């Protein structure tokens, strides 16, 4: 855990005396708490982490998850766990931060309530926003994180392979989504990483559609966008299928999206401007009959959350870095008709990339 603390502080000049992280209640948990304190389970509501420039990490947590915390810290001399009640937390933090003139906060994930409490507790402190440093540190993954992402991706990939066998006429979008989520749990996922998207027919033209009671009928295409958590790390995969008699236009759309994804992937390697990945896909689509129907950025980082603080589109200013875990997800959307998106998780390497998701990407027709 010390290397991660040092990685965050390395992005800060000047560095604060400490970085103070605080969890509220689900879902308002600071994921950087779990980045620095690599604990695979537990909510840790109301818990606090104090990170120091020398790599030391103090964890203040309640009795509910004390054993989990002690197990996670076991054998790591740089992590100290202290069990306190929620009523005792402020006094314990004040004692530990006595003499700290500059305190770093993660503005992006700190609740207003916690900020008010800290402001009252440390009226003379100078606050500094460490959000960008945290994002920069988290956007590249260490080997342990990559392994967890790969396991989450394996689960998503297996479900992607199973979807054709789940399809039957008359089932609803919600029914298919629930079956996909159940299957992820059977395979070892601790939960879905976002609301599963299943869009039949014209609903596939809405990239962030929420599944409803629309029934599956022969002759329609569908978009299935889903993912899971494994030991807190997320996967995010999209596959598009056709059910029943072929729709020639949607088959061609799928082939074009596949071509666009291949073009985007061919640009990926450390040092490449991230916008070039998007533009490679966009050029393929804009040179087709469906110009302008790519309506979103082609990808984002993935990690402790499915959108892990960074995304890229045609105006992205950052370059790809070795160890980044990102999605590549071009799509074509035809309002009133349907859509196709193909999304995979990859890790950027010095000379290219490695797939984290491996379900078949080709056009698949499922007999009705």
**Distance between CA atoms of 264 and 255, rounded to whole angstroms?**
14
pLDDT at 309: 87
| Token code pair at residue 48 | 């606090």
The single residue listed with the structure tokens 């690599």 is 38
DSSP class per residue in 212-256: -SPBP-TTEEEEEEE-EEETTEE--EEEEEEESS--HHHHHHHHH
Radius of gyration (C-alpha) of the chain in whole angstroms: 23
**Domain 143-366: which CATH number of 3.90.230.10, 3.10.20.30, 3.40.50.300, 2.60.40.2230:** 3.90.230.10
Strands of the chain, DSSP E: 18-22, 48-51, 57-61, 79-83, 102-105, 126-129, 191-192, 197-200, 220-226, 228-230, 233-234, 237-243, 299-300, 311-312, 325-328, 331-334, 338-341, 344-348, 353-355, 365-366
**pLDDT score for 327:** 98
The residues of the chain that CATH labels 3.40.350.10 are: 2-138
pLDDT at 174: 98
What is the model's pLDDT at position 99?
Answer: 84
**Residue 23: predicted pLDDT:** 97
- Return d(Cα 298, Cα 331) in angstroms, integer: 8
Put simply, whether the predicted model's pTM sits higher than 0.75 gets the answer yes
* Residue ranges in the chain modelled with pLDDT below 50: none
Residues 354/148, Cβ–Cβ less than 8 Å: no
On whether the CB atoms of residues 57 and 79 are closer than 8 A, the answer is yes
The dihedral sign for the CA sequence 93, 123, 20, 305? positive
Q: What is the pLDDT of residue 94?
A: 95
**Alpha-carbon torsion angle 239, 243, 248, 249, nearest 10:** -50
Per-residue pLDDT tens for 217-265?
A: 999 999 999 999 999 999 999 999 999 998 999 999 999 999 999 999 9
Read off the pLDDT of residues 316-367 as tens digits, 9 standing for 90 and up: 999 999 999 999 999 999 999 999 999 999 999 999 999 999 999 999 999 9
Nearest to 140 by CA among 19, 330, 308, 354: 308
- What CATH code would you report for 2-138? 3.40.350.10
CATH 3.90.230.10 domain position(s) in the chain: 143-366
């Amino acid at each position: 855990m010390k290397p991660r603390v040092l990685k965050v502080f390395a992005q800060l000049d000047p560095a604060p005396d400490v970085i103070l992280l605080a969890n509220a209640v689900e879902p308002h948990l600071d994921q950087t708490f779990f980045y620095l304190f690599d604990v695979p389970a537990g909510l840790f509501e109301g818990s606090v982490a104090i990170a120091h420039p020398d790599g030391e990490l103090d964890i203040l947590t309640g009795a509910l998850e004390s054993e989990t915390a002690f197990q996670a810290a076991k054998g790591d001399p740089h992590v100290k766990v202290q069990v306190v009640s929620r009523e005792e937390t402020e006094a314990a933090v004040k004692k530990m931060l006595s003499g700290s003139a500059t305190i770093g906060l993660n503005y992006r994930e700190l609740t207003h309530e916690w900020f008010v409490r800290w402001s009252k507790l440390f009226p003379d402190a100078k606050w500094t926003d460490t959000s960008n440093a945290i994002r920069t540190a988290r956007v590249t993954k260490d080997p342990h994180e990559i392994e967890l992402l790969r396991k989450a991706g394996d689960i998503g990939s297996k479900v992607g392979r199973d979807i054709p066998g789940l399809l039957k006429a008359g089932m609803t979008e919600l029914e298919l989504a629930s079956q996909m989520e159940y299957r992820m749990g059977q395979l070892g996922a601790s939960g879905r990483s976002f609301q599963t998207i299943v869009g039949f027919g014209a609903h596939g033209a809405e990239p962030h559609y929420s599944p409803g009671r629309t029934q599956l009928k022969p002759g329609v295409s569908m978009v299935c966008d889903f993912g899971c958590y494994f030991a807190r790390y997320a996967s995010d995969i999209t596959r598009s299928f056709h059910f029943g008699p072929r729709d020639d236009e949607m088959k061609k759309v799928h082939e074009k999206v596949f071509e666009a994804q291949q073009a985007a992937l061919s640009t990926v390697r450390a040092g490449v401007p991230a916008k070039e990945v998007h533009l490679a896909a966009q050029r393929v689509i804009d040179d087709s009959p469906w110009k302008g129907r790519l309506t979103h950025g082609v990808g984002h980082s993935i990690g402790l959350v499915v959108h892990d603080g960074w995304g890229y589109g045609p105006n992205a200013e950052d370059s790809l870095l070795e160890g980044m875990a990102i999605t590549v997800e071009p799509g074509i959307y035809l309002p009133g008709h349907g859509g196709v998106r193909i999304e995979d998780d990859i890790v950027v390497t010095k000379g290219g990339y490695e797939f984290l998701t491996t379900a078949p990407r080709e056009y698949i027709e499922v007999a009705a």
